[in-house]
Chain A
Amino acid sequence: MAFVRKEFHHIFRDKTSMLILLVMPILMLVLFGYALNTEVKNSKIAVYDPSRDEVTRAMVEKLQINNYFILKKVLNSASEAEKAFQSGEVSMVIVFSDHFYENLMHGGYAQIQLLADGSDPNTASIITTYATTILSGYQMELMKTGKIPYLITPEIKLLYNPSMVAAYNFVPGVMGMILLLICAMMTSVSITREKERGTMEVLLVSPMKPLYVILSKAVPYFFLSLVNLATILLIANFIMHVPIAGSLFWLLVISLVYIFVCLTLGLLISTIVDTQMAALIISAIGLMMPVMLMSGMMFPIENMPVYIRWISDIIPARWYIEAIRKIMIMGLGFSAIIQELSILVGMGIVLIVISLRKFKIRLE
């Protein structure tokens, strides 16, 4: 117990790391929420509309009703589209076919072309999705009023996150990352600090069991990560309006399992390296980067090449983020996260066995 108290002292005395630990989650939420926003607003568009009829005008208007698009330019020919892109004035061009209204009425066949700047594929795909949704919505309206004959339109409907609020996507990601950062990085740094300063040696000579030394190191970080978990959930829920659709209980269960996995990762790192610097670098490159890039937090796993997907499968955060999405956003219950939960439990067991074994070997 005396030792656990000491660990809390270390953290509370160190004002900088204390500040980092408590402010980091808030900072990351803000950063991902506002600065790295993947929602696209006020995209500038240009229109080439040779038919200039009732329907095409209405469509262009529809696009501008929400804040998604601003009509910046009206083009005189389709070939001007390229110039508009190159000058950087617009990020999407809408080209209507000739005699749009007539074709729609009689042939039931009219064409709209959406041109987007593929050099920024993320934005391009997001704004074309928006535009398609708006345009097909309008088409539906026309059909209902009986102005145009029946027409099969592909309907794209986004489930669970209909307005594509980015917060739904990144909040689980930030949770996965913050917990990893605090548990794995801080634990490994604090254990290696004892090695660096020579205090670990003194502790090993003492009658205190090595296992207790390690456990008491993990305790404060365990509590800190619970505080952070609460902070993230409160901000996400009340400020960013991300719902907690599913059971809070299972959310906590899976989080506790994940925290345990992260703590053992931290322990493992500290048995491999001897300096704080090395622990920091391994945590940053070996843990943070893969989580950012390959856990599905920023880029969808389905789009990754097979071998990258294999790597992503062994990243604990990938399973945690997945499970959190299922519980928080989709509101699914325990049966939906059995796979994720059991994978995380399995990883935790394997990691703790490896690190305890390594820890013992070091003592020989």
Chain B
Amino acid sequence: MSLAELQDRIRDAAARGAPLRLRGGGSKDFYGNEPRGELLDTRGYAGIVSYEPTELVVTARCGTSLTQLENVLRENGQCLPFEPPHFGPEATLGGCVAAGLSGPRRASAGALRDFVLGVKLVDGQGRAMAFGGQVMKNVAGYDVSRLAAGSLGTLGLIAEASLKVLPLAACELSLELECSEAEALESMNAWAGQPLPISGTAWHAGRLCVRLSGAEPAVRAAAEKIGGTRIQAQQLWHDVREHRHAFFGGSAPLWRLAVPSVCPPLGAPGGTLIEWSGALRWLRVQDAREIAAQAGGHATRFRSHEKREDVFTALDPVAMALHRRLKAAFDPAGILNPGRMYAEV
């Protein structure tokens, strides 16, 4: 598949006013509001365009398998620092950037959008455009690349993305501590204020797991300071990231709450799994919107069996007006993944 073919599909759909459902491997079909429109499968537009480890940048097409991309990076001693969840072996780079989700390392390394250096975007009129680039610092023009990241394909098809990559940590180990939710929140926030190489935290049902990554002397010193028991936890971090952990099983709705990390225990029934030093709280309740609002954060109905509408927290009228006008600028015919993020865009 060529870029021109993707552009043609979009131009044609725009001319007919026919909604398009942009989709890579479909690993995140469950996420966001109900997808609709004719399927535009991006997997045919795949491959790494350029990768030079010493430049710390990789550029790849949207259909590139996320697993394959990560394997190539690993062979060169590097990684995607935001540790993206795949949610299935078929995950693609395009879907990863469009969904904008980050994994356990987010609290220390940064979010997906922090590592987006540039994109090639096909807008709703089928125009292929390049924003940002392949260099670390670039302030020419508005930051459309980061705007596209996490926009769920509603502003354009991310045909190609350039991401900053980083070296794999020389040393990594995990610790387990027994503690209550309140104690865990206290500890995680206190540690985050100290120069410790913490690269992941997860608390659930009285168990706090802490991952340390970095230079060997730093990791060793931090492990002594934090205490607890050393555990083999590669599988655990994978299961937390990919929602294979037992907490994520069952059919109750799964809510993702982003809150200020210092927010006290939310006290919701059904238990919680906490990540990101307290800033990310997963809940199994019917509706978590009010809880999130009370906590000064926002809630996403991440997975549920109900009709998928209003999955994301509503925006205030000024913000929504900006969203509508941006959508009109990028996709005047309103054909790209309409409604997937908000009914209005």
Is chain B a partner of chain A in the same complex? no
| Chain A residues at the B interface, C-beta cutoff of 8 Å | none
